[in-house]
Amino acid sequence: MSQGVEFNRLMLEMRSMQMEAMARSKPAVSVPEPGAPSFSDMLGQAVNKVNETQQTSTQMAEAFEIGKSGIDLTDVMIASQKASVSFQAMTQVRNKLVQAYQDIMQMPV
């Protein structure tokens, strides 16, 4: 008889927990604050910054090639390396995003 009492008590507790869970409102989807940038905006800004770095590097190299005064070879090489490193970093971020997307798509539902 004590097993029947334990079972009934357990079932009552489970039902009360179920009712509490159903009574709770579902969590709302988090909406970003009006002034907060979205992920796509931040990613776009990062890509634009890499593009600007590469354009600056190209302009400095061209200016050095035509012999414009005030452009030193070391400045050109530093700008070139900055552009290269920023592009490699952007490529790695892209690779990580693609890998994360593929991992999520392969998750069982």
Extended beta strands in the chain, E state: none
- Span 3-42, pLDDT tens digits: 566 777 777 777 777 777 777 766 555 666 777 788 888 8
Question: Considering its fold, how many domains does the chain have in total?
Answer: 1
Q: Please, which pLDDT band fits residue 48 given cuts at 50, 70 and 90?
A: very high
Distance CA 105, CA 97 (A): 12
What whole-number distance in Å separates Cα of residue 41 and Cα of residue 28?
23
Residue 47 lies in a domain: yes
- Measured at the CA of 50, the angle between CA 59 and CA 40, to 5 degrees, comes to 145
Range of the domain at 48: 39-109
Rounded mean pLDDT, 64-91: 93
Instruction: Please tell me the predicted confidence (pLDDT) of residue 36.
Output: 78
CB under 8 A, 24+ apart: contacts of 85-88 = 86/49, 86/50, 86/53, 86/54, 87/50, 87/54
How high is the pLDDT of residue 88?
95
* φ/ψ of residue 49, rounded to 5: -65, -40
* pLDDT at residue 64 in the model: 95
CA distances from 20 to 27, 38, 64 (A): 14, 35, 72
The confidence score (pLDDT) of residue 51 equals 95
Q: Model pTM?
A: 0.62
**Token pair for residue 77?**
């090489």
Instruction: With respect to residue 18, please indicate whether it lies within any of the assigned structural domains.
Output: no
| Per-residue pLDDT, 9 | 76
Instruction: Pick the more confident residue, 107 or 27.
Output: 107
Asked if residue 13 is part of any domain, the answer here is: no
